[in-house]
Amino acid sequence: MFKLEEILRPNIRNAKPYSSARDEYKGKEGIFLDANENPFGSVGGHKYNRYPDPLQWKLKDKIAPLKKVKAEQVFLGNGSDEPIDLLIRALCNPGKDAIMITPPTYGMYEVSAAINDVRIVDVPLTTDYVLDVQAMLPKLTAEVKIVFLCSPNNPTGNLLPEDQIITILQHAKGLVVVDEAYIDFAPESSLLRILKNYPNLVILQTFSKAWGLAALRLGMAFASEEIVAVLNKIKPPYNINAVTQQLAYEAIGQIMKKEQMVAGILMERAYLEEELAKLPVILKVYPSDANFILVKTKNGTGMYSYLIEQKIITRDRSKVMLCDNSVRITVGTHEENEALINALKKYN
Ligand SMILES: Cc1ncc(COP(=O)(O)O)c(C=O)c1O
């Protein structure tokens, strides 16, 4: 039986959260002399003199029905990088506990663990970029407090098989975090629909990719109310600013625009996959469920540097485990993708 209480760090279990002025008085009417704000207004053209809602309820009430969860199951962070860090801090005792990662994968899990003096247990993906479940299972000890799985995976682009993720959920002693930053490009595969079955599952999503709001820094974590309550307890009080809350709220009101952009990106991805596969310099185009494509070339760093000379910036992943001579290409607009293909036609 999974018990969150038992895997939390003792200091986090016992911590008392900071109680802000907005936590203590929730009314909207009155003369507000409680938060040491400026009563006259703001410098600049806009009015931002009041602190924002620390728990962002108006925005969460908009997100919850979209994701078919309760508003209390939504945590909002300053990018999804914030819940990654908060989860590690909540569960992993520095110098003792560990997280499990499955390289090649998103780099922040390792960075956050290192900052928090938390050990990494890494079990590489197979050469087909799926989980090596047999190698993972014996390493799922009590000290491995969190397993981070990225699906669709960055930088390989593929979804991880759902049955494999479920096996890990069933055997992990702590939390399993499934990072779905790119799931809007493969929405039917989201594990949100099984969230209620697994009290140890946390799903991360973001406004940075399909919604086109990377600059606002807004990430989401979906989990049990109990896990979300812990994240709320340890987050900085006003972690999501008022502009971000308002603009994300407005964006959700225009969800069709997101769907149109996703459809455009998927069309362009198909175009790029087809054109890249024709080029002699490209040895392999990995299938993608995301808004980027990983390709294997004869010389990854050479191709990356050549493209830089053409003012086309991609990501050289040659030094990443299992990605030698590979370059990650984000899907651009049609003109941008054509420019890339034309440049590569001249390179060999
Ligand atoms: C897999 C993955 N997770 C999380 C993030 C971070 O997203 P955010 O902008 O929400 O912090 C990224 C960003 O590239 C990513 O690739």
The string of pLDDT tens digits covering residues 293-336 is 999 999 999 999 999 999 999 999 999 999 999 999 999 999 99
CA of 65 to the centre of ligand 1 (A): 23
Q: Is the pLDDT of residue 45 over 90?
A: no
What are residue 121's phi and psi, to 5 degrees? -110, 110
- Ligand 1: residue whose CA is nearest its atom 3: 181
CA of 150 to the centre of ligand 1 (A): 10
- Ligand 1: residue whose CA is nearest its atom 12: 181
- Ligand 1: residue whose CA is nearest its atom 7: 80
Best residue for ligand 1 mutational test, from 75, 78, 81, 205 (most atoms within 8 Å of Cβ):
81
Q: Domain limits of the chain? A: 11-253, 256-345
Q: Each residue of 222-276: pLDDT tens digit? A: 999 999 999 999 999 999 999 999 999 999 999 999 999 999 999 999 999 999 9
- The predicted model scores a pTM of 0.97
Q: Is the CB of residue 161 less than 8 Å from the CB of residue 142?
A: no
CA of 134 to the centre of ligand 1 (A): 28
CA of 179 to the centre of ligand 1 (A): 8
Fold matches, 11-253 and 256-345: no
* Count of C-beta atoms within a 10 Å radius of residue 196: 12
From the CA of 206, give the closest atom in ligand 1: 10
Burial 92-119 (b: 16+ CB within 10 A, else e): bbeeebbbbbbbbbbebbbebbeebebb
Cis check: omega of the bond before 52, within 30 degrees of 0: no
CATH class held by domain 11-253: alpha beta
Q: Which CATH architecture has domain 256-345?
A: Alpha-Beta Complex (3.90)
Q: Is the pLDDT of residue 20 over 90?
A: no
CA of 97 to the centre of ligand 1 (A): 24
From the CA of 84, give the closest atom in ligand 1: 4
